[in-house]
Structure 1
């Protein structure tokens, strides 16, 4: 059971390693635009998005830093589901729209995390992740060689060997090379799967559970200023000067501020800085640059890029792909080892 789940999770992990790159290739008509003149203001783009989906509440808008990429608007909520729009930021043309959970990579992610089975699937993948985590530790114990001669056999696949020996080598040697990375991937998966593990991580890193407090604002009757979101974007870019995609999270209640997150595309590690703005005046309420967070919160913010391999860009994405591919092979080679054990024939004694 755990082996079959591991196979599915590992193969979908291979695909998700290059989600951003593959999305821009497979869906080029909605993802890329031809720059013509100046971009429309953020408030104009927001108005276009709301006109296209008048009955739905906007949740987020993503403004890419590259001039050739489209703007994405998301509507709905976690409970009700999300719809999406891709907009040409120069002409305002709607390039595509639909249900977020119907998109190819959303389905792959659903399969990866929930096996397309909701909370039941989440429980199964969580248990399988825990089993895999402990298997990496026990596997190292079983792999550990008794002497140097055996060590050579454990780190290299023997050439011109029988199928049975080659299969065993692929399982033992391949498992060894992915062991450290698989340990990290499964550990980050466990932080996602179990709240108590996340809490334990915070306690080990910070000495206490130290999730950031929710930022709220005073509710007043002040009128929204004109060009509110254009002002907010300009302010965000003046505070965080680095290049990077910028996303605006719109409040669902009057006492919640606008949250702006900006990726740091210039740093080696892909981090995100945040700012909270008053939802009527655009005044800055709170700044939360990544560097100011506690160690526990920094680790939690980096949990996804570590898990997916995007933390250092292409090199770690490629590494995550290779590790996922080799991990997918382990249940197969392990099953072949089990089936190929054979039974030693008992000697028949003649009286």
Structure 2
């Protein structure tokens, strides 16, 4: 008897926590989920709606990283070039400008052979940048929005766990009912709404937990470090570019980055793209990201080279050569691709799309449940409902 009372008290506390946390975060969770849903096929939609200019492959050398930066600086003279991306030889060279504060994020598309400016894109405007800003900041100022989203993700994690506790039936006989949508023509909308919230919510909870967990890894650096160390990892999780072995940059004649381009093109013919990042200081090494698979990022190589000698430098972080990383590093590097479903290709993105869509529905159906109970139509005084009459007889 005491155990039953304890279980009943525990479920009441869980129900209250689920209710109050939900009422306080419904809008935040809805925006995060619906924008995540819209983001799922961002790459495919943008490739279809904004195709790259077609360029005939030529038997001529492409413009090299130093020249590409010079040409792009003619468009934005005072801005910082983050990196230059080389794809296929019939695609434009992309020079990416990025500054954190105030945020400036543009891409200049250059003809790979002539260096002509083909297109200039503001990566902070348009539909998908708007969606991403909502997902990451709720369209609030970044410092405020980041914290709201981060802690909103924590609350959503608690909501998922408490929701599973409340869903779990007290006996096996009721379990089948909790797993099916047993709707009839006479089933009222309130019952349907309850089933949508509890039954559909339970089925999607496993996928939702994965999405939330990967979101927490991105939201909290400490959480990321703990998750990584729990897998047995012992490297740094913070991103940083190592310094040169040889110290400050010296005059080596031909630009080191230009020579590195030819070296890497020969060494990695299977690469789908090469992204060169220009050192921010004379002591910093050259950072190159080598991608091998379209649409995913985890299996890319992050390689670092001394500015003066082009000697390769091993990174002390989880970001290095993918084939040389251990299981903990691989899991951490897969985090973003898991979060957006890209890890599973198109089927994975479809799953992420519907999971996010259902997650967006949970705050709505949950609010309707609360509203229906809190503001339900009360019977006239002195007239008992059918349920009250039945209870009176059974008591």
TM-score, normalized by the shorter chain, greater than 0.5? yes
Query: How far apart, in 2, do the equivalents of 1:277 and 1:294 lie?
Result: 22
Within 2, Cα distance between the matches of 1:155 and 1:70?
Answer: 52
2:174 paired with 1:150: yes
Provide the rounded CA distance (Å) in 1 between the counterparts of 2:146 and 2:297. 29
Q: 1:177-216: CA deviations, max 9, x gaps?
A: 2101111111111122222212211321226563377411
Given that 1:75 and 1:83 are in contact with CA atoms closer than 8 Å, whether structure 2 keeps it comes out as yes
Mean Cα displacement is larger for which, 285-294 or 165-174? 285-294
Residue 124 (structure 2) pairs with residue 101 (structure 1)? yes
Tell me the distance in 2 between the aligned counterparts of 1:234 and 1:253. Answer: 23
Aligned equivalents of 2:295 and 2:77: distance in 1?
39
Distance 1:265 1:147 in 2: 49
Judged with a 3 Å threshold, the aligned counterparts in structure 2 of structure 1 residues 221 and 194 are, in CA distance, closer, same or farther, namely closer
In the alignment, which of 187, 198, 211 is matched to residue 224 of structure 2? 198
1:40 matches 2:62: yes
1:336 to 362, 368, 379: 368
Distance 2:290 2:162 in 1: 41
Q: Report the RMSD for the aligned CA atoms in angstroms.
A: 2.8
Residue 315 of structure 1 is matched in structure 2 by 347
Taking structure 1 as the reference length, the TM-score comes to 0.87
Q: Tell me the distance in 2 between the aligned counterparts of 1:179 and 1:69.
A: 42
Deviates more, 1:320-329 or 1:213-222: 213-222
Q: Structure 2: any 5+ residue segments left out of the alignment?
A: 1-23, 385-395
Q: Which residues in structure 2 correspond to 1:156-305 (within 5 Å)?
A: 156-160=180-184, 161-206=187-232, 208=234, 210-211=236-237, 214-217=241-244, 218-220=246-248, 222-226=250-254, 228-265=256-293, 270-286=298-314, 288-305=320-337
Taking structure 1 as reference, are residues 294 and 214 closer, same or farther at Cα in structure 2, changes over 3 Å only?
farther
Is the radius of gyration larger for structure 1 or structure 2?
A: 2
Tell whether the 8 Å contact from 1:225 to 1:280 is kept in structure 2 after alignment: no
Q: Is the 8 A contact 1:178 1:323 kept in 2?
A: yes
Q: Shift in Å at residue 27 of structure 1?
A: 1.9
Answer with 192-201 or 45-54: which moved more.
45-54
1:293-332, CA deviations, whole angstroms, 9 ceiling, x for partnerless residues?
3444333322211111112321211111111111111111
Paired residue total: 347
1:141 alignment partner, one of 161, 165, 170: 165
Instruction: Give the corresponding residue for 1:348.
Output: 382
Normalised TM-score (structure 2):
0.78
Instruction: String of CA shifts for 1:73-113, please: whole Å, max 9, x gaps.
Output: 11242234233212232443323225432343222211111
Q: Which segment drifts farther, 189-198 or 93-102?
A: 93-102
The answer as to whether partners of 2:291 and 2:297 remain within 8 angstroms in 1 is: no
